[in-house]
A and B are shown apart, each in its own frame.
Chain A
Amino acid sequence: MKTIKVSVVTPDGPVYESDVEMVIARTQSGELGILPGHIPMVAPLQIGAVRLNKEGKTDFVAVSGGFVEVRSEQVTILAQSAEEADEIDIERAIRAKERAEQRLHEQKRENIDFKRAELALQRAVNRITVSEKHL
């Protein structure tokens, strides 16, 4: 089967690099599947899991924002933070989730901190789900 090169890059260095058959990412306008030979494209990503299908298996990478860049021979995901499923610190994610939930309860709506807590919660939940999928 045809494959396409994928790299997930963050400011702290490359996180994932491999040749895969299909990349599935959640962009801001919806789920997007990328096969080899896709037209060059750029799309911003939501906080979510990127799925990478490879030889009948699926790798998961938790991505916090950023965007995906597609070229004919390569897909690059540029994110401010990203972790492969088996590298997620689940304890930390659970703690972050609890902290964010607590903050959401305390704060009144339409606050900047509220929005930040909400994003933190999304990131934590994303990490937890990705890590569970891996197990």
Chain B
Amino acid sequence: MASLRDIKNRITSTKKTSQITNAMQMVSAAKMNRAEANAKSFVPYMEKIQEVTASIAAGSKDVGHPMLTSRPVKKTGYIVITSDRGLCGGYNSNILRAVYQTIEKRHKSSEEYAIIAIGRKGRDFFKKRNMNVILDIVGVADQPAFAEIKDIASKAVGMYSDETFDEVHLYYSHYVSAIQQDVTVKKLLPLTDISTSSKLTSYEFEPSAEDILEVLLPQYAESLIYGALLDSKASEHAAVMTAMKSATDNATDLINSLSLSYNRARQAAITQEITEIVGGAAALE
């Protein structure tokens, strides 16, 4: 049985850990709320741009644009959104496992794919395995502005346009609720399935439908990436919150059971002392 002092030390250190995890939980809860609000304020833009894109793409079937038509796939791009830090439960490993398995299954050599990593965890994971990471961005703010991501988004879209990639997939974690986040795979390019719920309008184009698509489609694809980033930020904070909550709960359980054995040990020590005194007194008589 551990000594009294050992148990006491463990109780103190577990208490300190639980204070930290508790603080982290509250910080992530606050960040999650803000990230959720950010994701919500992005919705009107996304809906609008989707509606317009769908209207144009549906209204002018004869207008061909490279971003709308599939071509034979020689090289696939994977955009993977992860967090910069750990301590978030299975958040990163779920996404990375999904990407890793897909790549293992689909591709024979590293010539056939390339990875664009957003977030340190994803970058390090793929770099360590010598997989083809061509672009990475780390240190994205908790409340990312569109400007921060625009550069990498337009590069990714540009690589599709100049035929570096023939298709682009987006892997991120979709925020369902504070306790549920799903790994989501979206085919970003080519944009073959643009759907919208609202009714389609037929527009006049100024100067022409082709010119509009030229401006609109890259912007649409970039905003899809940004939307995914906002979504995964909300998931990240939710995942950290859940992980830290269970860490705090575990610490509390541990402290309880440790206190129990501490008290037992203390009692045993006292009992023994009394027995010794009584025994000693009896020996004197």
* Chain A residues with a Cβ under 8 A of chain B: 7, 9-14, 27-29, 32, 39-44, 65-67, 69-71, 76, 78, 80-81
Contact = CB atoms under 8 A, between A and B. Distances in A.
Contacts of B263: none
A29 B204 contact: no
Contacts of A65: 215, 219
Contacts of B202: 40
B125 interface: no
A13 B207 contact: no
Interface in B196-241: 201-207, 211-212, 214-216, 219, 222-223, 226
Interface stretch (B38-46, B129-137, B164-172): B38-46
Interface in B26-53: 41-42, 44-45, 48-49, 52
Contacts of B117: none
Contacts of A44: 211-212, 214-216
Interface string B146-159: 11001000000000
8 contacts: A11-B223, A12-B146, A13-B42, A41-B206, A42-B205, A65-B219, A70-B203, A81-B147
A66 B48 CA distance: 12
A28 B207 contact: yes
Contacts, number: 80
Interface of B: 41-42, 44-45, 48-49, 52, 56, 145-147, 150, 201-207, 211-212, 214-216, 219, 222-223, 226
A28 B211 contact: yes
Contact of B201 (A11, A71, A80, A81): A71
A81 B146 contact: yes
Contacts of B145: 12
Nearest to A38: B204
